[in-house]
A and B are shown apart, each in its own frame.
Chain A
Amino acid sequence: MRTDAVVLEAFGASLHFAGVKALDFVTFSLHAGEVHALVGENGAGKSTLIKVLTGVYQPDEGALTHRGKPVVFHRPVQAQQAGISTIYQEVNLVPLMSVAANVFLGRQPRNRLGLVDTNRMNAMAAEVLAEYGIEEDVRRPLGELAVGAQQMVALARAVSADADVVIMDEPTSSLEPREVETLFGVIETLHRKGIAIVYVSHRMDELYRICDRVTVLRDGRLVHTGPLADLPRIELVSMMLGREVGDIRAHGATGFGAEHHASKEPLLRAENLVSGRRLAGVSLDVRPGEVVGLAGLLGSGRTETVRAILGDLPLDGGTITVAGTVVPSGSVPAAMRAGISMLAEDRKSDGIIPNLSVRENIVLAALPRLSRFGLVSRAKQDRIVRTFMERLRIKASSPDQKVAELSGGNQQKVLLARWLCTQPKLLLLDEPTRGIDVGAKAEVQALIDELAAEGLAVLLVSSDMEELIDGADRLVVLRDGVAIGELAGDQVTEDNVLAAIAAEGSR
């Protein structure tokens, strides 16, 4: 049913946030009746592009055309009225209101008196939802439904609004396999009706199953657009990650040194970690003095794995052992007592306390250990702070400078110092060099190297392929919350990683 008529197009769209280009001259054309995959890693600009298409953001430059006519959407409601519906990754409905009200909010059927005709609304909602495999009582509050069912209600709402474009932002991330099938059935129906669909997902199998064409974004730029079926998976993955197949870079491009000589006995042994839909069986071990990298696309369960090891994500199954002792799952203090520390992904929200000084930020996590009867010796603090500031080469005017005034790289080093002064045996690093400049990046990488050489066990998550390949002694490859392979020694090459990620899976 795909025709070559363009139903929605963004031409040369650019958008800046505080000097950072979130979108850089991106042209995106959606043809009538096609299912168009929109892919890219974190920060590639997918969400920004979607928000431009739906009127949440207005582009600084560039133009939108809808059905051949130039359009400007100042607010989301204008895009909706024009026939562009969006299903956001997080269900954007009202959980306390009834299922039926959620489907029809804003366009409720009225009776002769102008009042909402609840009976008719319920009947209409039940009828619409039946098509989506939802047989729930539509008078129940939406929040009582399973997340998958809520996602279907959102879809029903979007589609029943006479849309000719439906944008789905990772619709399957919270769905059970059975619900995914229902969703694909619905997409098939929409496809036949000639409704164009923008489909954002990280799951290769899904993309190749339902999408006609693909657009790849990276760092806010358009990388590729074209038919999907003839595009080899490995090429798609390499475009998303920004690596050329067969282009093996010389080692030494990062701050990492040679490989480490790790001891034989693993310090951390994680076995078959299962947590909800996010982790479906991850096993790995890390030896003292070794850097193990977690490779995989966004949404493959990398962050979830380290959070589970830290006890921040409750486990439904699996065991975590540190030096032969089982660590009770789901408790951060227990994990920290066992010698596990984590440098979190988002240092702004989960890390630094901006208005406190460098000193305070460093000793914060170690305070319970440093204090006696609730009092902390200032001299002891100063000694520790001085040691780490020198060792990590933290550039601050004094230990009393506010952390907020430091550069991103130095903030990251302060956090690293914070966790190091808790004397961990295992350090979990989630994107340790994201958002810091090149020089600081190399320094942080060199530090990681030194720490491992001194016997620390390190588990590294990074979207930067170079950092992973060069920095890790071993790589565990994740996909859809499962550890699907392990690469060690000479096997740790980009080609091998790309091949492992792109391999056809059962899901």
Chain B
Amino acid sequence: MITVDRPTRTRSVASKQLFATVLQRQGAAVVLVLVVAVSWLTFPNFGTVDNLRDLALQSSFLAVIALGMTFVIITGGIDLSVGSVYALGGVLAAYGSQWGFFGALLLPLVACGLIGLINGFLVAKTGMAPFIVTLATLLFARGLLLAISHEGSTTYKIAADSAFLTLGRGTFLGIGYPVYIAAILFVVGGIVLRRTAFGDTVFATGGAENSALLMGLPVARTKMAVYTMSGVLAGFAGALTAAYLESGVTVIGVGTELDAISVVVIGGTLLTGGAGSVLGTVVGVLLRDVIQNIINQIGTLDSNYQAVVSGGFLLAVVVVQRVLARNRERR
């Protein structure tokens, strides 16, 4: 009886498994396509060149932050500091713009990279929980930001003739530079993740850290690298935002770390690490901003419903991930 039962059970489990895997990996993409198609037909303004251009530009800042977060989460970690680091990057860029283009660019990259390196060092070398380490640097970076801006009363402006502004406000073929920059970073990020030994180690670290250590992979170095990268990218996103807004705005970035985490997870990256893709993250960012855009188009809805929709979607994705993980454990 048992021997007859088993193959059918296995087959139905396998097909369910496949369905769940597709749902988890590509679910966000399917939903994005549906939402875009429906919006295109429903809202006359949605498909206009202007709207799509704005949408792409708005998405590009969070996308840059989420790219770093994707790497961190695939190693099985988390980086809560990116929201504060993002804001700090913007203020430092504006401050550094007094020394020209490179001052405005390098100051935030170096400072934010250092914060990331500290995160990485503490996580990789002391074995402290990433959650705690990056929570501490979240507070640290926000505090530093408030100190140098005198609790936000000093706003550093970027001179109107600064070349640095082009980075945020310049356009090519009508599309803002930040969109191209984000696109290039994602292509490079995708190659690094998928096609380099470093990328393989990122996956192995998150998938089975002990195995990775026993295989002699440079786990500690890789962790340090991904947190540093996450800091640099968050700082760079801040610099881009400053260049776009023409000043270092101190109030941005509150809760941005949670937005970044949610778009990464919605994009199919496993919150427990070991699997994910940068393309998924692009989809996650776009889904978030398209929903926001629609809510704006409807006009009568409170814009906070965007967070309600994102939250619900995130919950659904995480539930599917958990079900998948449990199926894997059972086998």
State whether these chains interact.
yes
B207 close to A116 (CB less than 8 A): no
Interfacial chain B residues near A251, Cβ < 8 Å: none
Interfacial chain B residues near A76, Cβ < 8 Å: 213-214, 216
B208 close to A92 (CB less than 8 A): yes
A310 to chain B, nearest CB (A): 20
Interfacial chain B residues near A93, Cβ < 8 Å: 208, 211
Contact residues of A with B, CB < 8 Å?
Answer: 56, 75-77, 80-81, 86, 88, 92-97, 101, 105-106, 108, 110, 114-116, 118, 143, 316-317
A80 to chain B, nearest CB (A): 5
* B191 close to chain A: CB less than 8 A: yes
Within 8 A of A (CB), among B87-101: none
A126 to chain B, nearest CB (A): 18
B281 to chain A, nearest CB (A): 17
Interfacial chain B residues near A95, Cβ < 8 Å: 207-208, 328
B204 contact from A97, A115, A143, A316, Cβ within 8 A? A97
Query: Given A95-B328, A115-B196, A143-B328, are A106 and B216 neighbors across the interface (CB < 8 Å)?
Result: yes
Residue of B nearest to A116 (CB): B195
Interface SS of B by simple majority:
helix
Residue of B nearest to A147 (CB): B331
* B275 close to chain A: CB less than 8 A: yes
A77 close to B211 (CB less than 8 A): no
A116 close to B197 (CB less than 8 A): yes
16 contacts between A and B (CB under 8 A): A75-B216, A77-B216, A80-B216, A92-B214, A94-B203, A96-B203, A97-B203, A97-B207, A101-B200, A105-B201, A105-B217, A106-B197, A108-B200, A115-B196, A316-B2, A317-B2
* Of listed A77, A80, A81, A105, residue having the most chain B CB within 10 A: A105
In Å, the complex CA distance between A105 and B205 comes to 11
* B274 close to chain A: CB less than 8 A: yes
B100 to chain A, nearest CB (A): 34
* B215 close to chain A: CB less than 8 A: yes
Q: How many contacting A-B pairs (Cβ < 8 A)?
A: 70
In Å, the complex CA distance between A438 and B161 comes to 86
In Å, the complex CA distance between A492 and B200 comes to 57
Residue of A nearest to B276 (CB): A96
Please name the 10 residue pairs, one residue from A and one from B, whose CB atoms are nearest each other, closest first: A77-B216, A94-B207, A96-B274, A115-B195, A92-B211, A96-B207, A94-B208, A94-B204, A96-B275, A92-B214
Interfacial chain B residues near A106, Cβ < 8 Å: 197, 201, 215-217
Interfacial chain A residues near B275, Cβ < 8 Å: 96
Interfacial chain A residues near B217, Cβ < 8 Å: 105-106
Interfacial chain A residues near B274, Cβ < 8 Å: 94, 96-97
Contact residues of B with A, CB < 8 Å?
Answer: 2, 191, 195-197, 199-201, 203-204, 207-208, 210-217, 270, 274-275, 328, 331
B204 close to A105 (CB less than 8 A): yes
B196 close to A94 (CB less than 8 A): no
A235 to chain B, nearest CB (A): 35
Residue of B nearest to A141 (CB): B275
Interfacial chain A residues near B2, Cβ < 8 Å: 316-317
Interfacial chain A residues near B328, Cβ < 8 Å: 95, 143
Interfacial chain B residues near A97, Cβ < 8 Å: 200, 203-204, 207, 274
Interfacial chain B residues near A115, Cβ < 8 Å: 191, 195-196
* Of listed B212, B214, B270, B328, residue having the most chain A CB within 10 A: B214
B1 to chain A, nearest CB (A): 9
Interfacial chain B residues near A94, Cβ < 8 Å: 203-204, 207-208, 211-212, 274
A88 close to B191 (CB less than 8 A): no
Interfacial chain A residues near B207, Cβ < 8 Å: 94-97
Residue of B nearest to A145 (CB): B331
In Å, the complex CA distance between A346 and B117 comes to 41
B200 close to A81 (CB less than 8 A): no
Interfacial chain B residues near A86, Cβ < 8 Å: 214
Query: Given A96-B274, A143-B328, are A88 and B214 neighbors across the interface (CB < 8 Å)?
Result: yes
Interfacial chain B residues near A118, Cβ < 8 Å: 195
B268 to chain A, nearest CB (A): 13
Interfacial chain A residues near B216, Cβ < 8 Å: 75-77, 80-81, 106
In Å, the complex CA distance between A95 and B204 comes to 9
* Of listed A88, A93, A108, residue having the most chain B CB within 10 A: A93
In Å, the complex CA distance between A118 and B331 comes to 28
In Å, the complex CA distance between A310 and B199 comes to 46
Interfacial chain A residues near B203, Cβ < 8 Å: 94, 96-97, 101
